[in-house]
Each structure stands twice: as structure tokens, then as C-alpha cells.
């Protein structure tokens, strides 16, 4: 059965991390809300279900049969071994998961540069604060996060073509070089 990915229909957003892995592996999947017959209504139907015990808080989430898996890093941790995008070694799988969770933190900080005061307010309604937050983000946080990923890459004992081990993983879809 095809995997079902649920995410907002009009943006790449966090859904793109999952799409990249599915596309890289050539997996059979349906981008549910982009189906003309389903749309975001199908996403809300799952999130607002009164009977489903494991409802997601927010998209993206993946359905594999009856199983519902929320959060990008959690979805990728689930899919990685099935798609051939995670190391066989259990310890290394957790290393990849750690990198993906760091990416999760990074993405949340990127989001906060545009919505520093209130997530439910438009960027236009918090522009001065967004500018101040962005300046600090550019100065302090981008170099810290990217410097970290570059160090991990440099220190990979299996070489610098991949971030963990000697093959492509879902954590960073392309080698830096
Ligand atoms: N930790 C979650 C974050 C999910 C998330 O923030 N989703 C956004 C779209 S990118 C959303 O729709 N959030 C609604 C909300 O937080 O109320 C993940 O990594 O998937």
C-alpha cells in the first residue's frame, strides 16, 4: 500500500523533508492534500478525528496503513530503514536521528525569525521584532548550526562524502561537497 503524506497543500515547508526522502527512494506515496479530490479537508479529517487514538498535533504526518506517524524526525526515523536511507548499525541510526532533531531545532528557529512574538500573527504584524530576531539569528545561530554540521561531516571517520557512515542518509540529503 502506498504511504500517505499529509501536509499543507500550498507550501514546501516541513513536508519537503519527507518528500525528499520518499522521492530519493522512488517510494510509492500519495501527497494527500495535493490530490484534487482530497485537499486539506483530508488532513483535518485525521487531525480532528474523534475516534483515532493517535491524532497528530500538527502536519506533516505520515499514514502507513492504520499507523499514523507525526513529526518530521519521527517520520524519517520510521521511513529511513525501509527506504534504504538509514545505516544498518543501530548506533549510527541514532546519530542520524540526532542530526535530524538538530535540523528540527534549526527549522523552528528559522520559523521564529518571522513570528517572534506570536505564531498566529502574520509576519507583517511583527516586522520590527522579526528584523531584530533575524539579525541575531544570522549573526549567531546560522554559523553555529552550519558550523556544527560541517564539523560532523569533517569528523566522519568514513570520509567526507556523507554526514554519517559511507552512504546517503535521510538526515542531509546531499553531501556538502
Ligand atoms: N515538530 C513538528 C512541527 C510541526 C509544525 O510546526 N507544523 C506546522 C507546519 S510546518 C504547523 O502546521 N503547525 C501548526 C501549529 O503549530 O499550530 C515537526 O517537526 O513536524
Query: In this predicted model, what pLDDT tens digit does every residue of 71-96 receive, in sequence order?
Result: 999 999 999 999 999 999 999 999 99
Nearest-CA residue for ligand 1 atom 9 is: 59
Supply the pLDDT for residue 161: 86
In a domain, 73, yes or no: yes
3-state SS of 58-100 is: CCCEEEECCEEEECHHHHHHHHHHHHCCCCCCHHHHHHHHHHH
Splitting the chain (177 residues) into consecutive groups of 10 residues, what average pLDDT does each group show? 96 96 96 96 98 97 98 98 97 98 98 96 96 97 96 92 93 58
Q: How far is the CA of 15 from the centre of ligand 1 (A)?
A: 10
In a domain, 173, yes or no: no
Say if residue 48 is in the same domain as residue 97.
no
Nearest-CA residue for ligand 1 atom 4 is: 58
User: Residues 6 or more apart from 48 whose CB is under 8 A from it?
Assistant: 55
Find out whether 33 and 42 touch, Cβ atoms under 8 Å: yes
Say if residue 74 is in the same domain as residue 103.
no
Nearest-CA residue for ligand 1 atom 17 is: 58
Say if residue 76 is in the same domain as residue 8.
yes
In a domain, 78, yes or no: yes
Task: Tell which one of 58, 77, 107, 121 to mutate to probe ligand 1, the residue whose CB is within 8 A of the most ligand atoms.
Answer: 58
Residues at CB less than 6 angstroms from ligand 1: 13-14, 58-60, 71-72, 104
Query: In this predicted model, what pLDDT tens digit does every residue of 30-54 receive, in sequence order?
Result: 999 999 999 999 999 999 999 999 9
Range of the domain at 129: 90-154
Indicate the residue among 83, 111, 128 that finishes a domain. 83
Say if residue 71 is in the same domain as residue 123.
no
Burial of 70 (0-12, 13-18, 19+ CB in 10 A): middle
Supply the pLDDT for residue 160: 84
Domain count across the chain = 2
Residue 107 CA: nearest ligand 1 atom is 19
State the CATH number of the domain containing residue 19: 3.40.30.10
In a domain, 13, yes or no: yes
Q: How far is the CA of 71 from the centre of ligand 1 (A)?
A: 8
Indicate the residue among 83, 112, 146 that finishes a domain. 83
Say if residue 79 is in the same domain as residue 12.
yes
State the CATH number of the domain containing residue 142: 1.20.1050.10
Say if residue 70 is in the same domain as residue 18.
yes
Say if residue 74 is in the same domain as residue 18.
yes
Supply the pLDDT for residue 172: 75
Supply the pLDDT for residue 177: 42
In a domain, 168, yes or no: no
Tell me the CA distances in angstroms from 158 to 71, 81, 151, 153, one per residue in order.
29, 19, 14, 10
H or E stretch covering 39: helix 39-47
Say if residue 70 is in the same domain as residue 136.
no
In a domain, 24, yes or no: yes
Supply the pLDDT for residue 173: 54
Say if residue 32 is in the same domain as residue 78.
yes
In a domain, 169, yes or no: no
Amino acid at each position: 500500500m502506498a504511504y500517505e503524506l499529509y501536509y499543507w497543500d500550498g507550501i514546501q515547508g516541513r513536508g519537503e523533508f519527507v518528500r525528499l526522502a520518499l522521492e530519493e527512494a522512488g517510494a510509492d506515496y500519495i501527497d494527500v492534500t495535493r490530490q484534487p479530490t482530497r485537499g486539506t479537508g483530508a488532513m483535518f479529517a485525521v487531525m480532528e478525528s474523534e475516534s483515532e487514538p493517535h491524532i497528530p498535533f500538527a502536519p506533516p504526518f505520515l499514514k502507513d496503513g492504520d499507523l499514523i506517524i507525526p513529526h518530521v524526525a519521527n517520520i524519517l526515523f520510521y521511513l529511513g530503514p525501509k527506504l534504504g536511507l538509514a545505516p544498518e548499525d543501530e548506533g549510527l541510526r541514532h546519530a542520524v536521528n540526532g542530526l535530524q532533531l538538530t535540523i528540527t531545532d534549526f527549522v523552528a528557529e528559522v520559523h521564529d525569525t518571522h513570528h517572534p512574538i506570536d505564531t498566529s500573527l502574520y509576519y507583517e504584524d511583527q516586522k520590527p521584532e522579526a528584523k531584530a530576531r533575524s539579525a541575531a539569528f544570522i549573526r549567531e545561530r546560522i554559523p553555529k548550526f552550519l558550523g556544527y554540521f560541517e564539523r560532523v561531516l569533517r569528523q566522519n571517520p568514513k570520509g567526507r562524502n556523507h554526514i554519517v557512515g559511507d552512504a546517503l542518509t535521510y538526515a542531509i540529503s546531499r553531501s556538502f561537497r
